[in-house]
């Protein structure tokens, strides 16, 4: 087990809740840099602010906040509730080169990556090798090339630090943790299958073969369930990254191209400019109506599934028996089934909100607390 995994396992079993170090214990609070102040970063600040005056809040000290333009730093600690104002007023230009310096001091050092930035992901391994824990909601670090994933794992070991990735898949639902715990207990993972996209979950929980699929897509987009360009969801590329992260955590070192992704976006829709997409959405309707009819005839349900089985990974629409553990479900919940030595017939199933700023921020801070304890 590498340092990251062992740090994530290091939770006391019997104490509920895990007792924080008392203020008199002499343990310096962990020093935290938050990168990204969008909806997730904002929710991290709000959660930190809600901990003011609680023992849990004493364990972390926010010393650096940055978005893509500006940064604000205070070695003595920024108040989370004022960080956004401080940032807006700051004249400090944001630079990733300053982050390690800003974290200098006693105690554990942690970078929280709440960006969607390639440039930040590129730095993960470097920070880890410097002995700085990295906690991320961004899938670009571990969910893209195998080389980058390996660099992160090796840097964890070299820096004797942890990589907090709970928020990258399922926004902190116990998915990666369960995979790792099963393996720590001697199990081999046989298969993983899941609904890993809240928007695609919602679409197929609601699609009844009557109303055009494109109508539902517009509805999901207008409700904020999909990205502004719904092709980003319908392509399955986001799910590919999540499945890569799960597969690699399960011991299958797949290269990104080895995941077979069946996009829902027909080629005539894929080539359009963003402005032309809405009008062309009805191109989705006929193929899905046919697939729905075929599933319905067999008493089955259409679900957009990410699956790792027999060492192969694929993402796309599946027609599942109505009593399959992944066929039920409502709303935008993520739902993942794990088969292993002990769960060889009936899988372990974890279900719950797998997206949204609040659960993602909570998942990030879970990892920070665990790594920095």
| Interacting positions 3-32 with a second copy (CB under 8 A) | 3-20
- Spatial distance between the Cα atoms of 85 and 288, rounded to a whole number of angstroms: 48
Is 242 one of the catalytic residues? yes
The three-state secondary structure class of 113 is strand
Q: Which of 22, 39, 260, 309 binds a second copy (CB under 8 A)?
A: 309
Interface with a second copy: number of residues (CB under 8 A): 92
332 assigned ligand-binding residue: no
Q: Compute the half-sphere exposure of residue 181: CA atoms within 13 Å on the CB side of its CA.
A: 12
**36: annotated binding-site residue?**
yes
Nearest to 157 by CA among 177, 128, 181, 182: 128
CB of 262 to a second copy, least distance (A): 17
Name residues contacting a second copy, limited to 84-113 (CB under 8 A). none
Q: Around 120, how many Cα atoms within 13 Å sit in the side-chain half-sphere?
A: 24
Residue 316 in the binding site for a second copy (CB under 8 A):
no
Query: Rounded to the nearest whole angstrom, what is the least distance from the CB of residue 108 to a second copy in the complex?
Result: 13
Q: Does residue 276 touch a second copy according to CB under 8 A?
A: no
Q: Which listed range, 101-109, 245-253, 263-271, 283-291, lies at the site for a second copy (CB under 8 A)?
A: 245-253
Which one of 41, 164, 194, 236 is in contact with a second copy (CB under 8 A)?
164
201 binds a second copy (CB under 8 A): no
Nearer to a second copy, 230 or 354 (CB): 354
CA distance 76 to 31: 10
Among 56, 84, 92, 283, binds a second copy (CB under 8 A): 56
Give, as one character, the DSSP assignment of residue 22. P
To the question of whether residue 251 is assigned a binding role by annotation, the answer is: no
CB-wise, 82 or 342, nearer to a second copy?
A: 342
CA-only gyration radius of the chain, Å: 21
Residue identified by tokens 């990168």 is 35
Q: Answer positive or negative: Cα dihedral of 272, 257, 147, 194.
A: positive
* Site for a second copy contains 321 (CB under 8 A): yes
Residues 6+ away with beta carbon under 8 Å from 84: 37, 42, 45
Q: Which of 70, 75, 94, 190 binds a second copy (CB under 8 A)?
A: 190
Rule CB under 8 A: which of 327-366 touch a second copy? 328, 330-331, 333, 339-353, 358-359, 362, 365-366
Nearer to a second copy, 47 or 218 (CB): 47
| Cα 313 versus chain centre, distance | 18
Closest CA to 204 of 300, 112, 110: 300
Rounded Cα distance between 330 and 303, Å, is 12
- Is 77 annotated as a binding-site member? no
Which residues belong to the active site?
A: 242
Binding site as annotated, residues for NADP(+)? 36-41
Binding site as annotated, residues? 36-41, 115, 139, 227
């Amino acid at each position: 087990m590498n340092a990251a995994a062992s740090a994530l396992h290091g939770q006391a079993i019997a104490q509920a809740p895990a007792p924080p170090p008392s203020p008199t214990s002499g343990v310096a609070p962990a020093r935290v840099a938050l990168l990204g102040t969008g909806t997730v970063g904002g929710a991290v600040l709000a959660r930190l602010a809600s901990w003011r005056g609680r023992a849990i809040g004493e364990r972390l000290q926010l010393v650096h906040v940055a978005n893509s333009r500006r940064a604000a730093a205070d070695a003595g600690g920024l108040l989370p509730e004022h960080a956004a104002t401080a940032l807006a007023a700051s004249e400090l230009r944001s630079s990733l080169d300053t982050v390690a310096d800003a974290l200098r001091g006693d105690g554990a050092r942690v970078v929280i990556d709440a960006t969607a930035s390639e440039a930040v992901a590129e730095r993960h391994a470097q920070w880890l090798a410097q002995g700085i824990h990295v906690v991320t909601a961004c899938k670009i670090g571990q969910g893209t090339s195998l080389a980058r994933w390996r660099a992160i794992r090796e840097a964890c070991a070299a820096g004797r630090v942890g990589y907090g990735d709970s928020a990258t898949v399922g926004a902190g639902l116990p998915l990666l943790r369960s995979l790792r715990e099963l393996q720590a207990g001697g199990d081999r993972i046989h298969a993983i299958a899941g609904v890993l996209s809240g928007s695609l979950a919602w679409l197929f929980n609601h699609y009844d073969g009557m109303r055009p699929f494109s109508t539902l897509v517009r509805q999901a987009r207008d409700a904020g369930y999909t990205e502004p360009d719904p092709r980003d969801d319908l392509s399955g590329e986001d799910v590919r990254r999540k499945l890569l992260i799960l597969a690699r955590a399960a011991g299958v070192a797949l290269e990104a191209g080895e995941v077979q992704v069946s996009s829902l976006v027909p080629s005539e829709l894929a080539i359009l400019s963003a402005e032309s997409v809405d009008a062309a959405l009805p191109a989705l309707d006929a193929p899905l109506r046919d697939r729905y009819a075929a599933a319905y005839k067999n008493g089955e349900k259409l679900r957009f599934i990410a699956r790792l089985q027999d060492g192969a990974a694929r993402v796309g629409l599946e027609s599942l028996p109505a009593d399959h553990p992944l066929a039920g479900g409502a709303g935008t919940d993520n739902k993942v089934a794990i088969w292993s030595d002990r769960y060889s017939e009936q899988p372990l199933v974890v279900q719950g909100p797998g997206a949204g700023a609040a659960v993602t921020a909570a998942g990030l801070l879970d990892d920070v607390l665990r790594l920095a304890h």
